[in-house]
Chains A and B, each alone.
Chain A
Amino acid sequence: MTRGDTVLVCLVAAMALFALPLSGALAGAPAQDVAVLQGPAGVTRVPLDQDASYVVEGSSGEVVFKVRDGALRCVTSTCPDHVCVRSGLLRPGAPIVCAPNGVTATLEARAEGDLDAISR
């Protein structure tokens, strides 16, 4: 490795680290009890305290999400790589994205004046 390589590696590592708080700010402080499913047709708010299945109509087929034990995951999808299915459980800072279908799942950002935000 040349010195330039080392600098470049450090630069990419720094970019990844700097992007970390940036993506946190973008997501907002997430509420842990409501997920937001967004598809081409619109947005669905999903309570995480009841087990259920949700079908989101994507741009090239259906994406199926399942809530179980307070956590949401993508179960099946019509996309080629199934990155969404392999993403596992929805966690803060780690959205589930099915880009080929134009579908995303995030934890809902907590509103500013929320009781939980004050009591935290």
Chain B
Amino acid sequence: MRSHADSQTTSLALTAVLVAVAVCLGYAEAVLLPTMPVAGVRIGLANIAVVMALAFLGSGRALLVSVVRVVLVAAITGTLGGPAFVFALSGAVAAWLAMCAVARAGHLFSVIGWSVAGSAAHVSAQLLVASFFVGSAVPLLMLPASLGLALATGLVTGHLSRLLLSRIPSPSLSAA
């Protein structure tokens, strides 16, 4: 039986690993894969790490992983504090909210459902914030195409997450 402190250390280490993975995936995607020509939709590989955090560590740590990832990737790509950073942050928080809501429903949804909900919330929030920023509803015109793409990318990252979850043994944090 491990102590409370032990499991806290494990949880902290795992959080740090997931942040690192999320930053690597986010940065690789930003540099290697061009954003799709519709509303800056990305595949969202970094969200896989957030899904892992949500599955293993709970909602608080998932938000931490997501937000720290957005800040670090923005710092690396030089967009920190700019509008693009605000869009990314709003998308990340919206995706986290949607994924937590879906995850709370228990076994009704799998990680595929989490991912789809997350990516749909991500693009919707981004377009909404972009509309405020631009000062007109023009960005919202892209909502149908963005949601369609988000559905596809959500399914891709969801399947990848499920594949990973089935291979990685769940770290037992409370007792072992």
Measured CB to CB, the residues of A under 8 A from B are: 1-5, 8-9, 12-13, 15-17, 19-20, 22-23, 26-27, 38, 40, 59-60, 79-83, 86-88, 93-95, 97, 99-104, 106
Residues of chain B within 8 A of A93, CB atoms compared: 141
Tell me the nearest residue of chain A to B159, going by C-beta.
A1
Within 8 A of A (CB), among B24-39: 34-35, 37-39
B contact residues around A100 at 8 Å (CB): 82-84, 87
- Chain A residue with minimal CB distance to B149? A16
B109 near A80: Cβ-Cβ < 8 Å: no
In the complex, the 9 A-B pairs of residues with the closest C-beta atoms, listed nearest first: A16-B147, A4-B108, A5-B113, A99-B130, A100-B83, A104-B138, A4-B109, A86-B37, A20-B144
B141 touches A38 (CB 8 A): no
Which secondary structure dominates where chain B touches chain A? Answer: helix
Nearest chain-B residue to A18 (Cβ)?
B144
Q: Closest Cβ of chain A: how far from B166's Cβ, in Å?
A: 14
Q: How far is the CA of A104 from the CA of B132 in the complex (A)?
A: 12
CB contacts (< 8 Å) of B144 on chain A: these are 16-17, 19-20, 23
A19 touches B143 (CB 8 A): yes
> Which residues of B, 68-105, contact A by the 8 Å Cβ criterion?
77-79, 82-84, 87, 102, 105
